[in-house]
Amino acid sequence: MYALRGYGRVTADPRRAAAYERALARVIGPSTAVLDLGCGMGLFSLFARRAGARRVYAIEQCPVIELAREIAAANDADRIEFIAGSSRTVELPERVDVVVSDIRGLLPLHFDSVASLIDARERFLKPGGVLVPCAESIHAAVVSAPITYESTVGLWDAGPAGLDLTPARRAAAQTLDRMASGDGTLLTEPSEWIAIDYRRVRTISFERTLRWTIASAGVAHGVMLWFESTLADGIVLSSAPDQPPLVYGRAFLPWPIAVAVATNEHVEVALRADCVDDEYVWTWRTTIERDGCVLQRFSQSTFAGAFIDTAKLRS
């Protein structure tokens, strides 16, 4: 759940707002019923009514839904029915023509996002209905990211008063984090990791091995991840590093140590994201080779970086 400032940052992102408004205007007509899935402050519900939707159902399980009601009233937006609760447990009085959502975090794989979209498609969307977004992909590249690395992993190298903080550093190297603003130089060409077609997808966990050849020598700190989202034909929202920044930022999977890499060395990362109890556990196994010789090999997982009550595990 976001704090109010977090909702404000998401709502105020001009690229995000403009892209969604254009996509909704394209698919909504006077007879259209719309589901705003995870409506937050209700921005997409307002866009849907502005586009002429007959009825909007806005589902949100966080308390911000009360603020969304007030914002709708302040904008004289009628025909919006706000429904408090999880979209996976509530019911609607009718099937809808359009399901719009933005339940991403840094990436589209965020808590129960994919599971919620599959459920909404199966239970709420009319046959032939429209999903906004209809598809998303996640892309990756090996990255030099000294600022991000120092603020997430390297900060544990020197403990105060000579204290050894090695266990904290070890845990920090097992986390998916946010890239620091303005940081990140790609040392390989980008590769698509996965593509998700929400009109057809049935799985909520994903895996694929990525292979790169180092294109630019430098110090590699891990893997950068970003997404591209197809909201409608010709309307794409992208957090790629060659695009203007979006509120989502970009994701970073660190390596345990920084590695000096040279051109024509090869990097292989077996990357998987498993949805466990509505949260994603990320695992990345890295091999760096030159001329068939293994230079470095790492095996990391966000599970290893999680704080777990071992007493509960034993009970």
What is the dihedral sign for C-alpha 119, 4, 240, 207? negative
Task: List the Cα angle 215/226/218 in 5-degree steps.
Answer: 25
In the prediction, which pLDDT does 306 show?
87
Strand ranges, E, within the chain: 33-37, 55-60, 80-84, 96-101, 125-132, 135-144, 177-178, 185-186, 191-197, 206-213, 218-232, 235-238, 251-261, 266-276, 279-290, 293-301
**Is the pTM of the predicted complex or chain greater than 0.85?**
yes
Q: What pLDDT digit, counting tens, does each position of 5-47 carry? A: 999 999 999 999 999 999 999 999 999 999 999 999 999 999 9
Average pLDDT score over residue span 68-83 = 98
Report H helices in 159-231: 166-172
99: which residues sit within 8 A by CB, 6+ positions away? 34, 35, 37, 117, 120, 121, 124, 125, 129, 130, 131, 132
Is the pLDDT higher at 103 or at 158? 103
Model confidence at 309, pLDDT cuts 50, 70, 90, reads low
Domains of the chain: 4-102 (3.40.50.150), 136-307 (2.70.160.11)
Per the prediction, the chain carries an average pLDDT of 96
With 70 as the cut, is the pLDDT of residue 99 above it? yes
Q: How confident is the model at residue 91 (pLDDT cuts 50, 70, 90)?
A: very high
pLDDT at 81 over 90: yes
Span 243-296, pLDDT tens digits: 999 999 999 999 999 999 999 999 999 999 999 999 999 999 999 999 999 999
pLDDT (0 to 100) of residue 315? 53
pLDDT digits (tens, 9 = 90+) for 137-169: 999 999 999 999 999 999 999 889 999 999 999
Residue 314 has pLDDT above 80, yes or no: no
**In this model, does residue 310 exceed pLDDT 80?**
no
Residues 6+ apart with CB under 8 A from 115: 88, 204, 275, 278
